[in-house]
Amino acid sequence: MEETMIVQPVRLHELIQDKLIQAGLKEEHADTVAEHLVFADACGIHSHGAVRVDYYAERIAKGGVTTDPQITFERTGASTGIVHGDNGVGQYVALRALEYAIDQAKESGAAIVGVKRISHCGALSYYVKRAAEENLIAISMCQSDPMVVPFGGSENYFGTNPIAFAAPREYGAPVVFDMATTVQAWGKILDARSKNQDIPDTWAVDVNGQPTTNPHEVNGLLPMAGPKGFGLMMMVDVLSGILLGLPFGKNVSSMYNDLTEKRNLGQLFILIDPRRFTDLPSFKHSIETMIGELHDIAPAAGFKQVYYPGETNQVKYDQYMAEGIPVAKRVLDYLESTTIHFDQYGETGSFATK
């Protein structure tokens, strides 16, 4: 197992921001991305944290991200709109879109806002949590490049196509969960590579379609729960791709193939103001009651307690933000070096392998 180091959140933020500025991002955009990646690492979602900086820096430096995007909001109805992202860095564009969606949901009771033409936007939990902190229910989803073997098929078609949900509660941080529609997200495999760890043989298949435990041999991911995950990933691609007039399925651009090209990805936010359906204190109290009832359930053998979905990420966040965030030493060495990127991703296909 690769050595990890404990880094204080402020220091990690500074290192990430500086590296992205060196790659060509504006300070404000780099600051937003750094905040997002630190959040992911603090939640224990290391697959979407600092390990991504090298890839982001290479794509930015090679022109695959618009560093001065002209972001516009097109209001298409009382509760609908489209943010045109001009292929700016995903975390910055998506955050701007979320701000439009929050304002619209508070004004009209609900908002459905599509984000059109962005780069990789990172962990969706970051966005829905922010919306829930504004006392809104939030759902977000985004498409990704084809790396999943469809149920019953032998060739990749859909992406990992994640979905995230959040809701405010009476006490404490909002309820948040974020999941890929595959057995495991590609970022988890990328994290395993960075740590030289094997993966379970239920996550992915190799070039011959056979289960593999070697993260470097992955050639196709598997949908969670077979046809159920397959259906969900199709839904995500329809709502965040086809609905916005963007490429879909096997036509979605590759994350790692040509880093000089813009990615033209799509994302969708669905926000609901619970006050349009019930009174807010009652809603938040019921969420709190549900959490308490889940905690009161006797745990199964081998478990300490029942957690609500996503709760363990919040537990890690509270701990790591107070005590420091574990980061792979190899990743930290890169962030502290003068190297902008390692020039290792171009023309490597969906799985970053030559």
Q: Name residue 16's amino acid.
A: I
Residues paired with residue 327 on neighbouring β-strands, in sequence order: 5
Which two three-digit tokens encode residue 314? 């919040």
Q: Name residue 322's amino acid.
A: A
**Degrees (nearest 5) of the Cα angle 203, 196, 58?**
90
Could you give the residue ranges of the DSSP H alpha helices within the chain? 9-23, 27-42, 53-61, 90-108, 125-132, 186-194, 227-240, 280-296, 311-323, 329-336
d(CA 39, CA 322): 13
d(CA 263, CA 255): 8
Closest-CA residue to 291 (of 270, 314, 271):
314
Any catalytic annotation for residue 13? no
**Degrees (nearest 5) of the Cα angle 279, 281, 284?**
110
* Options 36, 48, 120, 341, the catalytic residue: 120
**Kind of pairing between the strands at 175-179 and 137-142:** unpaired
Helix (H) or strand (E) holding 84: strand 80-84
Contacts of 302 (CB under 8 A, 6+ apart): none
**Kind of pairing between the strands at 220-221 and 80-84:** unpaired
Which two three-digit tokens encode residue 312? 């363990």
Q: Which residues are known catalytic residues?
A: 120
